[in-house]
Amino acid sequence: MTKRDAAGDDSGFTLIELLTIVVIIGMLASIATSVFFRQRSKAEGATAKTDLRNAATAEEAQLIEGGAYSTSLAALQANGFRRSPDTQFGVAASTIGYCAVAGTSGRYYWFDSAAGGVQRASTAGLTPPTTATGICASTTPTALS
């Protein structure tokens, strides 16, 4: 027995214990980071869907008030549409309906007035997917800013 052991001064952590703690903290941080980014992506998708539903309401109001669907952001805003700041948004209209596309960070959705409902786009950007039906199959939305 050494003099140090006999005195009971052996306090502190060994290098192995410290490295183990650092590794555990690193693993927890990586898990938390991936969960955070996944939740952020879901929130951005929800924002795009909300923008599309709000645009649909504004388009229908425009049809009732003006007699035709609009491709103008000013006309949509006059009918209560407020686009989220980080969301890209585009709309195309014909005499029988409209197609709106919104998204951010590679997560895009489209709304077709003829087909109804919000759909997840298979492609990034404001161009509707090739599988689109109704108005979105024959028109390409113009980006609005």
Tell me the domain boundaries of the chain. 15-144
> Is the pLDDT assigned to residue 1 strictly greater than 60?
no
* pLDDT for the residue 129: 62
pTM: 0.69
> Is the pLDDT assigned to residue 54 strictly greater than 60?
yes
* pLDDT tens sequence across 8-30: 566 788 999 999 999 999 999 99
C-alpha triplet 100, 83, 127: angle, nearest 5° = 30
* DSSP state, residue 66: H
Burial zone of 32 (CB within 10 Å; 0-12 exposed, 13-18 middle, 19+ buried): exposed
The answer to whether the beta carbons of residues 41 and 107 sit under 8 Å apart is: yes
- What is the C-alpha separation between 91 and 39, in angstroms, rounded? 27
Instruction: Pick 15-144's CATH classification: 3.40.1050.10, 3.30.1300.70, 3.40.50.1820, 3.30.70.3270.
Output: 3.30.1300.70
